[in-house]
Amino acid sequence: MGREEQEAVRKLRHRPQSYDLLVDFVDYAVQVQPVVDAFRSGIANTPPSARRLAIVTRSALLRMQLKRMIGRDGVMFFESLAEAERWLEETSSV
């Protein structure tokens, strides 16, 4: 991640729940336990800043792993980017 992206992320952290986030995990593999533990620790030490989180993955196993790691409201899982984008658009006015 470049400096501009890091700065944008830093600024968003100061505006809790002011944006939606779409994450593409289509080519992401199921992770080994030490990686899961590190990821979970990072999540536990960071307040949720996105209002809604749309995660795209076709792997049922990865979906279960991510659900356990994230464990918060406002998260939905999808098998395609189009479905995730549609959900974010449909719920953006709610």
Q: What is the pLDDT of residue 2?
A: 65
CA neighbor of 84 nearest in space, from 57, 64, 48? 57
Q: Which domain holds residue 87?
A: 3-91
Looking at the predicted structure, is the pLDDT value of residue 38 above 60? Answer: yes
Q: Which pLDDT band, with edges at 50, 70 and 90, does 82 fall under?
A: very high
Q: What is the pLDDT of residue 66?
A: 86
Percent helix, percent strand, percent coil in the chain, to nearest 5: 50, 20, 35
Share of the chain above pLDDT 70, in %: 74
- For the stretch 56-88, what's the b/e string if a residue is b when 16 or more beta carbons lie within 10 angstroms of its beta carbon? bbeeeebbebbeebbeeeebebbeeeeebeebb
Domain count along the chain: 1
Looking at the predicted structure, is the pLDDT value of residue 23 above 80? Answer: yes
Cα gap 23→85, rounded to integer Å: 10
pLDDT digits (tens, 9 = 90+) for 46-78: 556 778 889 999 999 989 988 888 877 888 999
Structure tokens at 24: 């593409």
